[in-house]
Amino acid sequence: MFEHLIAGFITVISPTNLLFCFFGVTIGTIIGVLPGVGPVAGTAMLVPFTFGMNPTTAIIMLAGIYYGAMYGGSTTSILMNLPGESASVMTCLDGYQMGQKGRAGAALGISAIGSFIAGTLSVLGLMLLAPPLAEFAIRFGPPEYFALMTLGMTLVISLVGESMVKGLIAGAFGIFIGTIGMDPTTGIERFSYGIPTLLDGLSFVSVSVGLFAISEVLEMAEHSSQPPAYIDKISNLLPNREDWKRSIFPILRGAAIGFFACAMPGAGATVASMLAYATEKKISKHPEKFGTGIIEGVAAPEAANNAATGGAMIPLLVLGVPGSGTAAVMMGALLIHGMRPGPLLFEKHPDFFWAVTASMYIGNVMLLILNLPFVGIWARMLKIPHAILIPLILAISSVGVFTVNNNLVEVWIMLLFGIIGYFMKKFGFPAAPVVLALILTPIMENALQQSLQMSHQSISIFFTRPISLALLMVAMLSLLSPLARFLWVKTKKT
Amino acid sequence: MRKGLIAASILLMGLSLYGIIESSRLERTMQMGVGIAFFPLSMSIGIGILAAVLLVGILKGKVEIKDEPICEKGGAWRVVTVVAILLAYIILIEEIGYMPSTFLFFAATVLFLGKGRILKTLLTSAACTFFLYAIFRVWLKSPLPTGFLGM
């Protein structure tokens, strides 16, 4: 393992990979700082930038954006009570209160250091867990793959968003649009109506940029006011002895919660940070102090949302099932670069996996350096007027999407999905299941067809193989759990 | 918000109906494996059923709906205008090419959203246009639409 890791480090320290790792974490920090533009939108928008790169460099950069956004998100939460991205919501509760008491520096400091510790631990976890899991998953055949993808989708649907019905509609819609184009087995066209661009199916770049970036920009355009920039001086960034004493265990617990929560598809960084905050409050001797500006309330959720990024790489790289919107975008990017995430990735491209893992160690160090001394610069990013930010994001998205196939039809598709995404946000439909389903549908359909060929058209193949049966049962449970909860509450009332 | 969600449910039922009709036209069975209509047809039926469940829930008051308008005051106008400018940009980029269309797009959006001074707007628009050109054309070497003006 260590030989592989050293080889990974050697790959990462090439000037190109270091540059793009730095570029990724810097852009990620900016995305995290700017309210409205989340990591999914940022990653989707920058996928076209990776077309000329080799897959390793591309994923090093995209992963950098992902965990960089987690670092950046805390800055505006602490300074302005404004979460830069959804996973930083919990940091607002105590972080902002600390700022109000004149301890913004300590909150930012513990957030950056806690993020660094948790991020590094999660990479360690990824390094230790991924190889044995891949070894186990290599035995999977088409029925197990079909069951695994079904499970991934149902978990994302049941855990993301406010309503199971809306999540299911989003997932079904994603599967439906995932069938557009030529059927890979028969070559028969489905819903492409003679439009050549649609023969290969809807490009995930156009759809994800539309659903995440354009919809967010439209929401930004809707509001006439913009939050004021933070102008006070930030000092005393290094936590004192007492801060350390109170934060170290919340950081370690947050790291464990974030990593394991996100190693399972569905629970994203937001859920992880909420879980970490709730755990600290529950085990604290003074739970009433949470929300009044205590350092544990900053350390735990920040550690959790950073550890989540390492955890999220497990289902993505080892099983080929992305567990969140950002992971889905990264999987799409990998597929564009001709890499199929899954257990075979370890066998065929171990250099790729270890280089990405090593880049996460280096990226975390870069982020610590970027986020501690330069925090004032990031806080000033909020001075960028929306009047410039909005056309800039729209133009980058449009030109970027155009470069997918050098075709304006892609830009039209992006605009259409931007409008759809805007209304989905308004009515509370989650967008992540749509992109996840769009990417997984062709693979899932293929696995289903292969499974049925193996069993001479009998669906019993899914129920006679223990792994696929177990996975399908968990998928069913995840879908039925809200109904069971509802019935249980109803029975309890009567 | 309630009316909007009702409209969305009805729209989804329409989408479901379209999906069912179109999927039914596809060959439903193959010699080996499931038919190519299996996924789109089953998902269309699923969307229809779920949209109906959502609609019934809204009408019976069982779905939690935020008591707020869909858009803030004046927000719809700003969103529609930004979409219209983007629409015009996509049409223009093919006709007159990347450079002039992107410059016009920036100028129009900055003027509409920022209401700043003309000279500052023009300078910002030119700077952003060249910045993106430098990234996509010079650095990434991506071909950009040139239009009849050749730029």
CA distance A206 to B52: 29
The pLDDT of residue B89 is 95
Residues from chain B that touch A166, judged by Cβ atoms under 8 A, are 54
Count of structural domains, chain A:
1
Q: Which tops the pLDDT comparison, A342 or A486?
A: A342
CA distance B11 to B2: 14
Q: Which among A186, A408, A441 has the least Cβ separation from residue B36?
A: A186
Task: Flag if A452 and B33 touch (Cβ within 8 Å).
Answer: yes
Task: Flag if A426 and B4 touch (Cβ within 8 Å).
Answer: yes
Q: Look at chain A and count its residues.
A: 494
Task: Flag if B74 and A224 touch (Cβ within 8 Å).
Answer: yes
CA distance A328 to A272: 18
What pLDDT, in 10s, does the model give residues A348-397? 888 888 898 889 889 988 988 888 788 778 877 777 888 888 999 999 99
Task: Flag if A441 and B94 touch (Cβ within 8 Å).
Answer: no
CA distance A313 to A263: 7
Task: Flag if B90 and A415 touch (Cβ within 8 Å).
Answer: yes
Residues from chain B that touch A418, judged by Cβ atoms under 8 A, are 83
> Minimal Cα–Cα distance from B137 to chain A, Å?
10
What is the secondary structure of A164-204 as a DSSP string?
A: HHHHHHHHHHHHHHHT-EE-TTT--EES-TT-HHHHT---H
Domain residue limits, chain B: 2-59, 75-139
Measured between CA atoms, the residue of chain A closest to residue B24 is A190
The pLDDT of residue A25 is 92
**DSSP at B34:** B
* Mean pLDDT lowest among A267-276, A280-289, B45-54: A267-276
Would you place residue A267 in the very low, low, confident or very high pLDDT band (cuts 50, 70, 90)?
low
Domain of residue A248 covers 2-493
pLDDT at B66 over 80: no
* Owner of token pair 């399972």: A264
Q: Average pLDDT for residues A285-294, to the nearest whole number?
A: 86
Residue B50, classed as helix, strand or coil, is: helix
CB A123 within 8 A of CB A406: no
Element holding B11 (H helix, E strand): helix B2-25
Residues from chain A that touch B113, judged by Cβ atoms under 8 A, are 221, 386-387, 390-391
The two structure tokens encoding residue B48: 């229809």
CA distance A282 to A301: 14
Q: Give the pTM.
A: 0.86
pLDDT at A235 over 50: yes
Q: Which among B30, B39, B132 has the least Cβ separation from residue A445?
A: B39
Task: Flag if B4 and A427 touch (Cβ within 8 Å).
Answer: yes
The pLDDT of residue A415 is 96
Would you place residue A227 in the very low, low, confident or very high pLDDT band (cuts 50, 70, 90)?
low
Which of A209, A232, A192 shows the shortest CA–CA distance to A78? Answer: A232
Q: How far is CA A298 from CA A70, A240, A367, A450, in A?
A: 13, 15, 18, 49
Q: Residue B119's CB: how many other CB atoms inside 10 A?
A: 8
Taking all residues of chain B, what is their mean pLDDT, rounded to a whole number? 87
> Minimal Cα–Cα distance from B149 to chain A, Å?
18
Residues from chain A that touch B115, judged by Cβ atoms under 8 A, are 387
CA distance A319 to A298: 32
Q: State the count of interchain CB pairs (< 8 A) between A and B.
A: 169
The pLDDT of residue B32 is 47
Residues from chain A that touch B136, judged by Cβ atoms under 8 A, are 399-400, 403
CA distance A98 to A88: 15
CA distance A357 to B111: 45
The pLDDT of residue B78 is 92
Residues from chain A that touch B11, judged by Cβ atoms under 8 A, are none
Residues from chain A that touch B2, judged by Cβ atoms under 8 A, are none
Mutate to test the interface with B, among A388, A409, A411 (most CBs of B within 10 A): A388
Residues from chain A that touch B141, judged by Cβ atoms under 8 A, are 52
Task: Flag if B50 and A172 touch (Cβ within 8 Å).
Answer: yes
**DSSP at A227:** P
CB A187 within 8 A of CB B62: no
pLDDT at A445 over 60: yes
CA distance A280 to A261: 16
Q: Which tops the pLDDT comparison, B102 or A290?
A: B102
Task: Flag if A166 and B54 touch (Cβ within 8 Å).
Answer: yes
Q: How far is CA A21 from CA A11, A29, A61, A63, in A?
A: 12, 12, 5, 8
What pLDDT, in 10s, does the model give residues A42-90? 888 888 888 888 899 999 999 899 888 888 878 878 887 777 677 778 8
pLDDT at A175 over 50: yes
Q: What percentage of chain A carries pLDDT values higher than 70? A: 95
> Minimal Cα–Cα distance from A145 to chain B, Å?
16
Q: Which among A52, A165, A175 has the least Cβ separation from residue B140?
A: A52
Residues from chain B that touch A172, judged by Cβ atoms under 8 A, are 43, 46-47, 50
